[in-house]
């Protein structure tokens, strides 16, 4: 299977999955994101929505206007240019309160790796993460780029409820949770950022293909930022790529 010959899998009568591979791989994710951007820039007739994942792109279409064959033909016309993408992703600085009631698993996770909580925070906030996909809940960011020394299996006893804005680690992935939801991830912090607010324009701030850096903030900064975020302010700051932590 290559970039010019992915698998095309019908999903019901109104969607087509373009599968670039069967493993989690940054190159495959980049192809899915590039195809997503290409279809957004030049949508074929009948296209409704595209949903990128780690290794594939789900293409939703109106079956009264087009069909699987026409969508596949439109995708194939775009495949040859994907490997030359020069798109520059947006980069966001996201504030996080680590530990304590905001990250109840931080100490246990640190002990499991023979680290102090401060060392975990330093390593976690030093990374530049790519938003590989959104999923599970609206605006939930799956982040690639976690320091391998922090990779931690998911909990064996998932919580029925975790707070909106939770920053967590599950396996070799990091995340930003968007809304209150169940989770088996290890909770190390929390951001006041609302990545999904249906009444706000835009409803989603951080999107698949964007980059994220985390900035540790003091607990006493939470209240003001949380109030501003609840009022619809973005909180996360879009930054230049050379201004990661400065």
Answer left, alpha or beta for residue 100, where phi above 0 means left and psi between -120 and 50 means alpha: left
pLDDT on residue 164 = 96
pLDDT, tens digit, 9 for 90 and up, residues 24-81: 888 899 999 999 999 999 999 999 999 999 999 999 999 999 999 999 999 999 998 7
Residue 146, SS3 per DSSP = coil
Q: Is the pLDDT of residue 1 over 60?
A: no
Q: Which residues contact 171 (CB under 8 A, 6 or more apart)?
A: 151, 152, 153, 154
The phi, psi pair for 61, rounded to 5°, reads -145, 165
Domains of the chain, each with CATH number or no CATH: 7-84 (3.30.1360.40), 91-239 (2.40.100.10)
Residue 125, SS3 per DSSP = helix
Enter the tokens of residue 97.
């309160």
Instruction: Find the mean pLDDT for residues 144-164.
Output: 96
Q: Which residues contact 169 (CB under 8 A, 6 or more apart)?
A: 109, 124, 146, 150, 151, 152, 175, 185, 186, 188
Number of H helices, E strands in the chain: 5, 14
pLDDT on residue 244 = 61
Q: How confident is the model at residue 214 (pLDDT cuts 50, 70, 90)?
A: very high
Q: Cα 197 to chain center, whole Å?
A: 16
Instruction: Find the mean pLDDT for residues 154-183.
Output: 96
pLDDT on residue 70 = 97
Cα radius of gyration rounded to whole Å, the chain: 19
Q: Provide the percentage of residues in the chain whose pLDDT is more than 70.
A: 94
pLDDT on residue 88 = 79
pLDDT on residue 147 = 98
CB-side neighbour CA atoms (13 Å) of 82: 25
The Cα–Cα gap between 34 and 38 comes to 6
pLDDT on residue 165 = 97
pLDDT on residue 5 = 84
Enter the tokens of residue 225.
């930022």
Q: Which residues contact 116 (CB under 8 A, 6 or more apart)?
A: 110
pLDDT, tens digit, 9 for 90 and up, residues 87-129: 678 999 999 999 999 999 999 999 999 999 999 999 999 999 9
Q: Is the pLDDT of residue 184 over 50?
A: yes
Instruction: Find the mean pLDDT for residues 153-173.
Output: 96
pLDDT on residue 246 = 46
């Amino acid at each position: 299977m290559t970039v010019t010959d992915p698998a095309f899998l019908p999903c019901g009568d109104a969607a087509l999955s373009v599968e670039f591979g069967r493993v989690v791989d940054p190159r495959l994710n980049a192809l899915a994101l590039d195809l997503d951007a290409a279809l957004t820039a030049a949508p074929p007739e009948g296209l409704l929505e595209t949903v990128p994942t780690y290794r594939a792109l789900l293409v939703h279409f109106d079956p009264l206007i087009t069909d699987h064959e026409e969508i596949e033909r439109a995708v194939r016309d775009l495949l040859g240019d994907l490997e030359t993408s020069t798109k520059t992703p947006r980069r966001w600085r996201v504030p996080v309160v680590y530990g304590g009631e905001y990250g109840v698993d931080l100490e246990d996770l640190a002990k499991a790796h023979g680290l102090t909580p401060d060392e975990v925070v330093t390593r976690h906030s030093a990374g530049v993460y790519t938003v590989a996909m959104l999923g599970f809940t609206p605006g939930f960011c799956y982040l690639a780029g976690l320091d391998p020394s922090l990779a931690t299996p998911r909990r064996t006893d998932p919580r029925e409820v975790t707070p909106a804005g939770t920053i967590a680690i599950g396996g070799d992935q990091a995340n930003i949770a968007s809304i209150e939801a169940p989770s088996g991830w290890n909770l190390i912090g929390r951001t006041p950022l609302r990545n999904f607010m249906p009444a706000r324009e835009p409803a989603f701030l951080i999107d698949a293909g964007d980059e994220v850096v985390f900035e540790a903030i003091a607990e006493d900064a939470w209240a003001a930022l949380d109030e501003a975020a609840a009022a619809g302010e973005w909180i996360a700051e879009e930054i230049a790529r050379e201004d990661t932590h400065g």
